[in-house]
Amino acid sequence: MNITDTSILKLEILIATMHRTSLEFLKPMFINSGNEAFKILIVNQTTKDKLLKSDDPNIRVVNAFETGLTQSRNLAIQHAVGDVCLIADDDVVYENGFHKHILEAHSKQPHADIITFQMTDDDGNLYRDYPEIIHHNKDTVRTANSVVISFKRKNLVQSNVRFNTNFGLGTTFQTGNEYVFLRNALKGQLQLTFVPKVILSHPKFSSGTDVGSDKVLYARAAIFYKYSGLIGYLRLLKHVFMLWKTDHFNKDQFWSKLKVGLKGIKDYKHLVKIGQEIP
């Protein structure tokens, strides 16, 4: 898609949400920016008695009766129509002019399949220490949260890269969905770049920030093994040691936390064995 005119590219925001019956939740998300300059696709995971409808031609809704964040993301990719799409959750607040930054980045980098951006926390501070890079690699994709991931839709669809349904909220391993997605994109020879522009703010806490919790440690261990094989055991031991040294849990919890991680690796290996996960 070798396009340099941003007026030609059309942006679509792919929002994952649950149990919505009204579009009112969109107002705080776009309070700084408005939502007239782009299309919105909402995947609303719900029940048949709580459906979401839209009469706005720029806002489409898919009511889904399954659970899991990665399932929601993949369903959004399946139904998306925008030239450029932005992954979204329902708790972000977009900056004024954010859509222009995204479209300008994609028009200036026509060969980039995926472009990630920056975000701030709700105190206005950068959400993390971002790398001083242009092109992403397997290390720098760790710094990309899902809600700052944009992509050229046709390129992603043709590559058959999707979110891994074993990682993310509501799945076996409840974190790491964006990291595994971006690693899959790199493996699929897609071009990933980074633009140091803030496009939104996000609450400080997220499912991946409680690094000392059992569910995050369990998932992190699986990711260690997925990408490092047997060395993943050493990475797990080092990780648990660092969590203890940085007071994420007490000394007497060390061995129980290590066992949680070992269980994560064991369960990941089982998924590979029965063909439900590709290492």
Phi, psi of 149 (to 5 degrees): -95, 120
H or E element in which residue 267 lies:
helix 254-273
For 169-182, b where at least 16 C-beta lie within 10 A, e where not — what string?
Answer: bbbbbbbbbbbbbb
Model pLDDT, residue 209: 55
Q: What percent of the chain has pLDDT over 90?
A: 88
> Would you list the DSSP string of 2-15?
----TTT--EEEEE
| 42 strand-pairing partners | 15, 61
pLDDT in tens, 8-18: 899 999 999 99
Model pLDDT, residue 8: 83
Give the count of beta carbons closer than 10 Å to the beta carbon of residue 19. 10
Residue 31 neighbours by CB under 8 Å, 6+ apart: 93
Give the position of tokens 């496009």: 199
pTM score > 0.75 for this model?
A: yes
CATH superfamily of 11-201: Spore Coat Polysaccharide Biosynthesis Protein SpsA; Chain A (3.90.550.10)
| 85 strand-pairing partners | 12, 151
Q: What letter represents residue 69's amino acid?
A: L
H or E element in which residue 78 lies:
helix 69-79
Identify the CA nearest to 42 among candidates 59, 66, 19.
59
Model pLDDT, residue 5: 53
CA distance 19 to 30: 20
Q: What is the mean pLDDT of residues 3-28?
A: 88
Q: C-alpha dihedral over 177, 181, 183, 187, to 10 degrees?
A: 150
User: What single DSSP character describes residue 143?
Assistant: G
Q: What percent of the chain has pLDDT over 70?
A: 96
> Would you list the DSSP string of 224-240?
HHHHHTTHHHHHHHHHH
pLDDT in tens, 147-180: 999 999 999 999 999 999 999 999 999 999 999 9
User: What single DSSP character describes residue 95?
Assistant: P
Nearest-5° Cα angle at 63, 147 to 202: 20
The band of 202, judged by pLDDT with boundaries at 50, 70 and 90, is: very high
Model pLDDT, residue 206: 55
Given a contact cutoff of 8 angstroms between Cβ atoms, the answer to whether 136 and 193 are in contact is: yes
Radius of gyration of the chain from its Cα atoms, rounded to whole angstroms = 19
Identify the CA nearest to 90 among candidates 184, 19, 185, 154.
19
The band of 2, judged by pLDDT with boundaries at 50, 70 and 90, is: very low
Mean pLDDT of the chain, nearest integer = 94
